[in-house]
């Protein structure tokens, strides 16, 4: 048996469905390309039949990603499988992932069918998927609570039908490592055709055991692990990609297992997913948390200074955390900015130098010194700008103080016109938002969440505002970045407004298509 463990990333499917606001097609593509650089083997890009937006996202990612297998999820339903085949057909290589529940509680209470019916549906689904591709994955949903005899029967039937990968999910995070490893071992001992497929696992973290269960499965023969960046996903999340990858790398000699993850891309990918998904990473999170390589104890600090491996079993550099906080000033030229970005691990194709440089100059004039983390933040936000923004901030002025009623004046370009409005509010940000609402008139955008963070250190660090707004029953996420909190908050709202405008345009096109078809 091979010692290579495939990394199947489902950040864009299982991870995305747990977010407070959906990602745009552009944001999903940005994450997919980052996953490709990270070196994942399979990218589960979405659930094509679930919505036109998801279908378009999967199709876009399938056409752009070249070095990873792009996968789409489907129920054991003809329409789902056909949607996957259509969305993924533009890819150089793709996989259809179909599933059905197998535990008694799901079969009886949810599906209300017999076990024989479920086997028949699974076989039919795999065979239909094979019409589109030779790479078909079948999942036994809630396998962790499925009777082993029935699970063996289902796995054997799926492989006979043409499944090249069979996934054994601990869907509700119920099992323990010894128990889950035993399930995988049993399958290898009892399923006669198991050598004809790769056994995969997809573990949830309800009891905090997702990574441990995945590792136990790999030690017992599973050769694909399904996971997400930062462990995001339904409920308590999924098995964490960065933890699986670094366990395999750090303990390769013990485990005899390896994977193809480029570990130096881990930190950057983690930050990107955290930013775009509006899912902050806890400080004590393994591998990518802010404290993962910090040492507070005097004894620990003394030990690390004498020999790094006294208290660090891996280096910050091994996961892409660069300790060099080189400061730059407004006197630094374009070539210095380019050199620094390349040293940080970015490729020239990852950024538009002129755009980043102009943003850098504005920030340097305000801050004086600009650090590596500032540069990365500027690069991230330069990538988030709308290419053809309908709403553009032209002017902002806000007043507030102890004895002053907060007020703000905003000039907003809307299409080809400019509008200026003033308003008061409970604070300067609220006043600015009220002024923008006056510009919008009847367009009702309701703020449901507003959060503030900083991207660096000290009083002059960049303020990052994340906003979630509701519009026409949908939620949209926006991010703003500036040294000023009010400006950052306004930029975040404008980002949301541009996404709502794009959504309106898509809805209008669909309506025109329907009318034309009548």
Q: What is the CATH number of the domain that holds 449?
A: 3.30.160.270
Do 148 and 19 fall into the same domain? yes
Do 258 and 309 fall into the same domain? no
- Cβ proximity of 464 and 480 under 8 Å: yes
- What residue numbers bound the domain in which 309 lies? 293-320
Q: What is the pLDDT of residue 236?
A: 96
Pick from 127, 98, 101, 128: which is nearest to 113 by CA? Answer: 101
Per-residue confidence at 274, pLDDT binned at 50, 70, 90?
Answer: very high
Do 205 and 121 fall into the same domain? yes
Pick from 42, 49, 212: which is nearest to 125 by CA? Answer: 49
SS3 195: helix
Do 194 and 340 fall into the same domain? no
How far, in Å, are 81, 445, 501 from residue 439 at the CA level?
A: 45, 12, 14
Do 165 and 248 fall into the same domain? yes
In a domain, 214, yes or no: yes
Per-residue confidence at 351, pLDDT binned at 50, 70, 90?
Answer: confident
Pick from 504, 68, 15: which is nearest to 227 by CA? Answer: 15
Q: What is the mean pLDDT of the chain?
A: 90
Q: What is the pLDDT of residue 66?
A: 95
Taking residues 233-249, report their average pLDDT: 97
In a domain, 288, yes or no: no
Taking residues 410-419, report their average pLDDT: 93
* Residue located via tokens 């130096």: 264
Do 348 and 271 fall into the same domain? no
SS3 292: coil
In a domain, 272, yes or no: yes
Cα–chain center distance at 452: 20
Do 95 and 122 fall into the same domain? yes
Q: Is 329 exposed, middle or buried, given 0-12, 13-18 or 19+ CB atoms closer than 10 A?
A: middle
Highest mean pLDDT among 148-162, 313-327, 434-448: 148-162
How far, in Å, are 209, 219, 231 from residue 212 at the CA level?
A: 5, 11, 13
Number of domains making up the chain: 4
Highest mean pLDDT among 50-54, 84-88, 484-488: 84-88
Q: How is residue 344 written in tokens?
A: 């940080």
Do 153 and 259 fall into the same domain? yes
Q: What is the pLDDT of residue 458?
A: 59
Q: Judge whether residue 416 has pLDDT over 70.
A: yes
Q: Judge whether residue 135 has pLDDT over 90.
A: yes
In a domain, 328, yes or no: no
Distance CA 436, CA 446 (A): 12
Distance CA 254, CA 227 (A): 22
Q: Judge whether residue 100 has pLDDT over 90.
A: yes
Do 376 and 491 fall into the same domain? no
Taking residues 356-367, report their average pLDDT: 83
In a domain, 518, yes or no: no
Distance CA 70, CA 59 (A): 10
- Cβ proximity of 285 and 306 under 8 Å: no
Residues 124, 126, 127, 133: is their CA dihedral positive or negative?
positive
In a domain, 285, yes or no: no
Distance CA 39, CA 263 (A): 9
Do 380 and 435 fall into the same domain? no
Distance CA 450, CA 470 (A): 12
Strand bridging mode 42-46 / 6-9 = parallel
Q: Judge whether residue 204 has pLDDT over 80.
A: yes
- Of residues 254 and 325, more confidence is placed in 254
Cα–chain center distance at 515: 36
Q: Is 361 exposed, middle or buried, given 0-12, 13-18 or 19+ CB atoms closer than 10 A?
A: middle
Do 226 and 371 fall into the same domain? no
In a domain, 514, yes or no: no
In a domain, 1, yes or no: no
| Proportion of the chain above pLDDT 70, given as a percent | 93
> What does the radius of gyration of the chain's CA atoms come to, in whole angstroms?
25
- Of residues 19 and 374, more confidence is placed in 19
Distance CA 400, CA 424 (A): 10
Q: What are the residue ranges of helices labelled H in 97-174?
A: 104-105, 115-129, 148-161
How far, in Å, are 1, 5, 26, 255, 450 from residue 220 at the CA level?
A: 11, 12, 39, 11, 46
Q: What is the pLDDT of residue 483?
A: 83
- Cβ proximity of 373 and 293 under 8 Å: no
- Of residues 263 and 363, more confidence is placed in 263
SS3 369: coil
- Cβ proximity of 165 and 200 under 8 Å: yes
DSSP-assigned letters across all residues of 202-215:
EEB-TTS-HHHHHH
The C-alpha angle with vertex 360 and arms to 356 and 365, in degrees rounded to 5, equals: 160
In eight-state DSSP terms, residue 386 is -
Residues 23, 24, 28, 30: is their CA dihedral positive or negative?
negative
Q: Judge whether residue 386 has pLDDT over 70.
A: no
Per-residue confidence at 513, pLDDT binned at 50, 70, 90?
Answer: low
- Of residues 331 and 219, more confidence is placed in 219
Strand bridging mode 404-414 / 391-401 = antiparallel
Half-sphere exposure of residue 322, counting CA atoms within 13 Å on the CB side?
17
Q: What is the pLDDT of residue 379?
A: 80
The C-alpha angle with vertex 429 and arms to 407 and 24, in degrees rounded to 5, equals: 140
Q: How is residue 46 written in tokens?
A: 């979405």
Beta strands in 298-445 (DSSP E): 391-401, 404-414, 417-424
Do 352 and 219 fall into the same domain? no
The C-alpha angle with vertex 124 and arms to 121 and 87, in degrees rounded to 5, equals: 105
Q: What is the pLDDT of residue 83?
A: 97
| Proportion of the chain above pLDDT 90, given as a percent | 64
Taking residues 110-126, report their average pLDDT: 94
Q: What is the pLDDT of residue 270?
A: 96
Question: 0.85 exceeded by the pTM?
Answer: no
């Amino acid at each position: 048996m091979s010692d290579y463990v495939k990394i199947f990333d489902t950040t864009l499917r299982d991870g995305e469905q747990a977010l407070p606001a959906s990602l745009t097609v552009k944001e999903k593509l940005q994450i997919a390309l980052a996953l490709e650089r990270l070196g994942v083997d399979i990218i589960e890009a979405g659930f094509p039949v679930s919505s036109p937006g998801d279908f378009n996202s999967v199709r876009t990612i399938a056409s752009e990603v070249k070095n990873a297998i792009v996968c789409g999820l489907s129920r054991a339903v003809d329409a789902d499988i056909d949607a996957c085949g259509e969305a993924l057909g533009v890819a150089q290589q793709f996989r259809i992932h179909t599933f059905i529940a197998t535990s008694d509680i799901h079969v009886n209470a949810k599906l209300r069918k017999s076990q024989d019916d479920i086997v028949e549906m699974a076989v039919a689904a795999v065979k239909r998927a094979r019409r589109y591709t030779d790479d078909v994955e079948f999942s036994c949903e809630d396998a962790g609570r499925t009777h082993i005899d029935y699970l063996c029967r289902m796995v054997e039937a799926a492989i006979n039908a043409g499944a090249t990968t069979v996934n054994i999910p601990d869907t509700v995070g119920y099992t323990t490592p010894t128990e889950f490893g035993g399930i995988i071992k049993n399958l290898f001992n009892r399923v006669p055709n198991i050598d004809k497929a790769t056994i995969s696992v997809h573990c949830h973290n309800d009891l905090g055991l997702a990574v441990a269960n995945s590792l136990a499965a790999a030690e017992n023969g599973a050769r694909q692990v399904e996971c997400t960046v930062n462990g995001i996903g339904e409920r308590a999340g999924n098995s964490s990609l960065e933890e699986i990858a670094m366990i395999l790398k750090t303990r390769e000699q013990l485990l005899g297992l390896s994977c193809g993850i480029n570990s130096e891309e881990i930190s950057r990918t983690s930050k990107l997913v955290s930013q775009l998904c509006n899912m902050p990473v806890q400080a004590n999170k393994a591998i990518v948390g802010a404290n993962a390589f910090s040492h507070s104890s005097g004894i620990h600090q003394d030990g690390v200074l004498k020999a790094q491996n006294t208290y660090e079993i891996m280096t910050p550099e091994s996961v892409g955390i660069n300790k060099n906080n080189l400061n730059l000033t407004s006197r630094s030229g374009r070539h210095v900015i380019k050199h620094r970005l390349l040293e940080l691990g970015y490729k020239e194709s990852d950024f538009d130098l002129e755009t980043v440089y102009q943003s850098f100059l504005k920030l340097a004039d305000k801050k004086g010194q600009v650090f590596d983390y500032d540069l990365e933040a500027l690069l991230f936000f330069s990538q988030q700008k709308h290419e053809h923004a309908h709403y553009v901030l032209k002017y902002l002025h806000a007043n507030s103080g102890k004895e002053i009623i907060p007020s703000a004046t905003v000039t907003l370009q809307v299409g080809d016109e400019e509008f200026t409005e003033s308003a008061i509010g409970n604070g300067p940000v609220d006043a600015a938002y009220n002024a923008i609402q006056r510009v919008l008139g009847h367009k009702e955008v309701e703020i449901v969440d507003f959060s503030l963070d900083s991207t660096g250190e000290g009083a002059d660090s960049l303020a990052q505002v994340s906003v979630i707004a509701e519009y026409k029953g949908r939620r949209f996420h926006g991010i703003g970045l500036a040294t000023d909190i009010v400006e950052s908050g306004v930029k975040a709202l404008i980002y949301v407004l541009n996404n709502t405008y794009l959504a309106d345009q898509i809805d209008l096109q669909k309506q025109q298509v329907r009318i034309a078809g009548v």
